[in-house]
Structure 1
Amino acid sequence: MNRALGVLAQLEAWLPPAPPAIDWTARAYRWQRRGARGWLDAIPRIAPIQLGDLQHVEQQKDTLERNTLAFLRGKPANNVLMTGARGTGKSSLVRALLDAYADQGLRLIEIDKSDLGDLSQIIELIADRPERYIVFCDDLSFEEGEAGYKALKSALDGSVASPGDNLLIYATSNRRHLMPEYMRENLEAQHQPDGEIHPGETVEEKISLSERFGLWLSFYPFAQNDYLDIVHHWLVFHGCTPDQISAARTEALQWALARGSRSGRVARQFARDWAARHV
């Protein structure tokens, strides 16, 4: 018996620790995994951003806010895929909605695409909670053979089990169809080297994931004046004077040229640098 207890103690030392208790008072969580166990890890400090900080994306902002408000009020709402240019406010918009509506019961769960196979566990964990949860996957895309692809398809639309009315999936991606598509896959009149007889159906399979998101929002690169408006907003936020903001114009354009992008992210990064040197 003592030897058996000793063996069990050694085995227990190799097992991953039990997941911590979930802090249901938190506003945002990150899905964590250790071995076969996963849990919701509360995020104590959330990067602050407000809806008013996101400029020149008014149409996308209004649409996403309307969908989120319908979700909070128990009305029909869609899962959302946001695609387009990098740094234009896709993920920031989700965080801003949390800032605006957390007091009304909105909650956020961040999940990596590698953990999308755990969506069924998340759905089970929050099934009886009164809050409304957005499961958020940033920079979503898949390569051939990744396991999370089919799990996400099933959770969006296709599983017999209902995901419940207190969960939506919001995702961002720089790629609309989420998986790479190759020219050879469209050559339906030819047999493929791998023996695929119906390559057109393979293409449809890849496109079908995007189509399971009920709402698509596209984000586009900013024009020069839009970029300068965003720079102005963040310089005011950091306490710059009108004269300092006027003097920053040329350097702001040079900054964007060096970065190869006139995005909201680049505008905010420039404003931080300028304010640090002049305020």
Structure 2
Amino acid sequence: EHAAAGLRLIEIERDHLADLPRVVEQLARLPQRFVLFCDDLSFEAGEGDYRVLKSVLDGSLERAPDNVLLYATSNRRHLMPEKQSDNENWQMVDGELHPNEAVEDKIALSDRFGLWLSFYPFSQEHYLDVVRHWVEVQAASAGLRWQWSEALEKAAIRWALGRGNRNGRCAFQFARHWVGLQLLEQDA
């Protein structure tokens, strides 16, 4: 939609983050503006790639170019696992606590992202509103006539209970499933 204005979107896989400094260096020379996107970002204990990402975001001698912005999604707030044992090696020096610096290093990565969006569990009413929306969208694209009913509502609630989750993804999956069943019944 914004390509004519010079905006470009580049997805960078989690396994290619080590290449990020070279990618940013190449993009800095171009006239377009770039959003680098990394989906489902997280790191396992012992991985060092997160340090490369920290430097690119904020923390190297070179300033990040004005034409590059990094967006990442993650299901983890701190992006790396933290263990209770990480906090066992602290020292008391003149009354001051010095927590394990490894923990601070891990947390420092998520602190470099300026905007965090949290998605909280849906209430049942909100979940059903989203189900209605997705059923309407899916049914319209399939040319299916439908009407909200108590049976449909109960099926959507059972779907969410069976998955232990009420969120947008669950509502979307239910809508696709339900519309698919309706189409199968029409064909039968």
TM-score band (shorter)? 0.7 to 0.9
Q: Any unmatched runs of 5+ in structure 1?
A: 1-99, 191-197
Cα distance in 1 for partners of 2:177, 2:62 equals: 50
The amino acid across from 1:259 in the alignment is R
Match of 1:229 in 2: 129
Q: Deviations over 1:80-113 (max 9, x none)?
A: xxxxxxxxxxxxxxxxxxxx54454332211122
Equivalent in 253, 257, 260 of residue 164 of structure 2: 260
Partner of 2:57: 156
Paired residue total: 172
Identity across aligned pairs (percent)? 54
TM-score of the superposed pair, with normalisation by structure 1: 0.57
C-alpha distance in structure 1 between counterparts of 2:69 and 2:39, whole Å = 14
Residue number in structure 2 paired with 1:92: none
Contact 2:91 2:99 in 1 (8 A): no
Instruction: Output the CA distance in 2 between the equivalents of 1:144 and 1:151.
Output: 15
Of structures 1 and 2, the one scoring higher in RCO (CA 8 A, sep 6+) is: 1
User: Helix, strand or coil for the counterpart of 2:132?
Assistant: helix
Residue 147 in 1 paired to residue 44 in 2? Answer: no
2:58/2:64 contact within 8 Å kept? no
Is contact 2:7-2:33 (8 Å) kept?
yes
Go from structure 1 to structure 2 and tell me whether the alpha carbon gap of 1:270 and 1:148 turns closer, same or farther (over 3 Å shift).
same
Report the counterpart of residue 203 of structure 1 in structure 2: 103
> Take 1:177 and 1:223, find their aligned partners in 2: how far apart are those partners?
26
Distance 1:102 1:271, change over 3 A: farther
Uncovered stretches (5+) of structure 2, i.e. residues with no partner: 93-97, 184-188
Q: CA RMSD in A?
A: 2.0
Tell me the distance in 2 between the aligned counterparts of 1:125 and 1:189: 44
Q: 1:274 aligns with which of 174, 178, 185?
A: 178
Matching of residue 108 in structure 1 with residue 9 in structure 2: yes
Counterpart Cα distance in 1 of 2:11 and 2:79: 18
Q: Which of 125, 129, 143 is equivalent to 2:26?
A: 125
Shift of 1:217: 1.6
Change (3 A) 1:274 1:166: same
Aligned-pair CA distance for 1:221: 1.4
Distance verdict in 2 for CA 1:189–1:161, change over 3 Å = closer
> Are 2:88 and 1:184 aligned?
no
Q: 1:268 corresponds to which letter in structure 2?
A: F
TM-score using structure 2 length: 0.82
